[in-house]
A and B are shown apart, each in its own frame.
Chain A
Amino acid sequence: MTAIWHPLVPVYSCRLNNLFYSFISIRFFTLRRATERLHNLSAFKFLLMPTRVNPVQLLVLLCFPLLFTSCLKDECRNKFTIYQPVYKSLSSVRKEMGFTQARKMERPGKIYQYGAYLLVNELWKGIHVFDNTNPASPRKLGFINILGNVDIAIRNNVLYADSYSDLAVIPVSNWTEAKPVTFRNKVFNDGFVSWGNQTNPDSVQVIVDYVERDTIVDCATYTTWSRCPNCMVADAGGRPVFVNAAAAAPVNGVGGSMARFTMVNDYLYTVTQSELSAFQVTDPLNPVKSSTQNLGWGIETIYPFQNKLFVGSNTGMFIFDLGNPATPARQGAFSHVRSCDPVIADGFTAYVTLRSGGTMCGGTSNQMDVININNLQTPFLVKTIALQNPHGLSKDGNRLFVCDGLAGLKIFDVQDERDPKLVQTIGGLGTTYDVIAQDKIALVVSDQGIFQFDYSNLQAIKQISKINLN
């Protein structure tokens, strides 16, 4: 073996080190000597022979590059969308409201069932109307243009819809002629500051659309508020959620558990983020606001059952008695950890789903609480069932349907209503948000569209139709 010597390094007998330092020598020796070595292949014959390597030296050699890991930089890029609002006067917006031809479904919001009709809110834009006489093949009838709309409720062919901070009254005995006939101004004040001190709708400017612009920045330059221009509070509980509830009277429509509007007898009850309001609709086209109560921030849903109202909030469930329907009286409350929480009730049991993931709702719980409401003054927790990301829920007979986000639609057996047992999960629906189960048909809204399931045979629940987005 030819030993290679270099004044900068000690002499090693290890051939591996010889190999290593031979490369070093090419770097440090004169070019002439290095060239000689390259041409004298015999000098490299040792490389082709079997050899043994000192493991410690090898390990040191392999670990050497770890000294340079500080040179490695990870990279993170954040793409977000900046929204520039487009304004229009409220008067001109109101003139454009009414029934128009069917349009694409892009951001489905709340769903509402009224007789043979299925209504789907297009978030902030209006309502898609479907003829659902045959649930296996729902037919698009048209679209009711109501800018600023999120919630609806129907009674006796009169549709009540929010439009920005106002309540719009729309007769719908003939869908094609649906057009607002009455407005109640400034009745919903949370999140709508359009009116300000104005009294004339000509002077009120409302946002009708947004111009979107994508921006890419380094993650380090991005901050919480800059990522959501125009937003003060982020996320009320996810993408197109919000579904309506209504009383069970035959002339009323039926909604889901995530409603903010509901009808009980001659009253329309609404909740905003902090207020519960009652409107008397004895004269259907001229609703009169009879009361407003401040419930504190974080109110989310309202659900009627047996002359009671169950109001879901970020921090608990409130129960109101409708002995005096014009002014609901608070009767009891059940507190839970901070979380988004739709609620439904049946008999002596209430079901509350708690979910995380909303920066406004807060909390980390993902579960369904079963609450004993036998004594409405002192409801108490009976059981907690862990779920993935539960949203809306609906009960029909001894079956409880729960939308569990991406995990799909979960069906529980509630023969023992205090001890729900999971019997089936239907996945592959996208992120499910709310469900209305009625007359053996379950309407499910998700970010992929509206699904309808026939559950007349509980052992073989089958999908019978799907209304796609776009």
Chain B
Amino acid sequence: MRLFILLLLLFPFVWLQAQDSSLARQHKISFSSVTQIGLLEGQAGLAFQVQTVNGIAVGPWQLGLGTGIDKYGVRSVPVFVQAQYGLPVLDRSFSVYLDGGRSFTWPEQSLQRAYATEQNGWYWDAGLQYQFKGKRAAGPVFSLGYSGKTYGWEENMDVQCVRAPCPGYHTAYKYIYRRISLKAGIKL
């Protein structure tokens, strides 16, 4: 399913890239910064997110480092690399992006467990971004993507039992969260 979505996203990029010989020759390097807030919707419900991605833009390509807050499931701070390609349609208002990196767990008080060790996981997001282009390069942006993150925790403790000696108690949980990501913000 994930592969299918990725192929679907890459298809217009590959097809249109072949017909974009004039724009491909542009290699002007500039600073790129996008800050967005948004929602994550999945089986666990609706959650808030905020993120900022800063990097460079070379022609239709943008490469940046991003971070933010992701409150879906368990609160976390994703730190990721983003690659973005401006599609040669509608004055490159549309672009596809791919994020990948680590998800650093930042549990809220209610999730803390005395004998549990929280574990960091992975973060990814892939989707389509649209930028309203006016007379200036900066402008509002909307993003829609398929996003995921992993998270885990382990618990080790001793137990009391009917017949001592009691065995230790070890358990580990692994979560994979899959969501639709909708964001809006501003691109500088």
Contacts and interface: CB of A to CB of B under 8 A. Distances in A.
A56 interface: no
Contacts of B163: 85, 191-194, 207, 230
Interface string A232-254: 11111011110000000000000
Contacts of A355: 114
Contact of A80 (B133, B158, B171): B171
A310 B166 CA distance: 27
A367 to B, nearest CB: 14
Contacts of B165: 123-124, 147-148, 164, 207
A80 to B, nearest CB: 4
A181 interface: no
A368 B145 CA distance: 48
A207 B163 CA distance: 8
Nearest to B150: A75
A227 B178 CA distance: 26
Given A59-B142, A230-B167, A405-B114, A191 B178 contact: no
B73 interface: yes
Contact of B158 (A48, A50, A78, A239): A239
B90 A239 contact: no
A72 B115 contact: no
7 contacts: A19-B89, A69-B42, A73-B178, A78-B173, A80-B170, A230-B162, A360-B160
B132 A78 contact: no
Nearest to A109: B158
A216 B144 CA distance: 34
A15 B94 CA distance: 13
B60 to A, nearest CB: 12
Given A51-B93, A219-B173, A233-B159, A58 B167 contact: no
Given A192-B163, A235-B160, A50 B91 contact: yes
Given A66-B180, A78-B172, A80-B171, A47 B166 contact: no
A210 B178 contact: no
Interface in B18-59: 19, 41-44
B119 to A, nearest CB: 12
Contacts of A210: 167
B161 interface: yes
Contacts of B166: 124, 191, 230-231
Instruction: Categorize the interface residue count of chain A.
Output: 35 or more
Contact of A239 (B73, B157, B180, B182): B157
A72 B114 contact: no
Interface string B153-188: 000111111111111111111111111101000000
B178 A358 contact: no
Interface in A395-439: 405, 431
B42 A16 contact: no
Contacts of A241: 158
A50 B172 contact: no
Closest 4 CB pairs of A and B: A357-B114, A124-B165, A83-B167, A75-B176
Contacts of B174: 75-77, 79
Interface of B: 16, 19, 41-44, 73, 88-91, 93, 113-115, 130, 132-133, 142, 144, 156-180, 182
B183 to A, nearest CB: 10
A59 B41 CA distance: 16
Given A191-B162, A191-B164, A231-B159, A75 B90 contact: no
Q: Which of B113, B115, B176 has the most CB of A within 10 A?
A: B115
B90 A51 contact: yes
B17 to A, nearest CB: 13
Nearest to A236: B160
A238 B114 contact: yes
B43 A207 contact: no
Interface in A69-105: 69-70, 72-81, 83, 85
A74 B177 contact: yes
Nearest to A123: B158
Interface in A130-178: 147-148, 164
A47 B44 contact: no
A78 B170 CA distance: 11
Nearest to B172: A79
Contacts of A83: 167-168
A460 interface: no
B161 A74 contact: no
A47 B19 CA distance: 11
A78 B157 CA distance: 16
Nearest to A229: B167
A234 B160 contact: yes
A323 interface: no
A72 B180 CA distance: 8
A81 B170 contact: yes
Interface string A97-123: 000000000010000000000000001
Given A47-B88, A78-B173, A235-B157, 8 more contacts: A47-B89, A53-B130, A65-B180, A74-B177, A207-B163, A234-B157, A239-B156, A360-B160
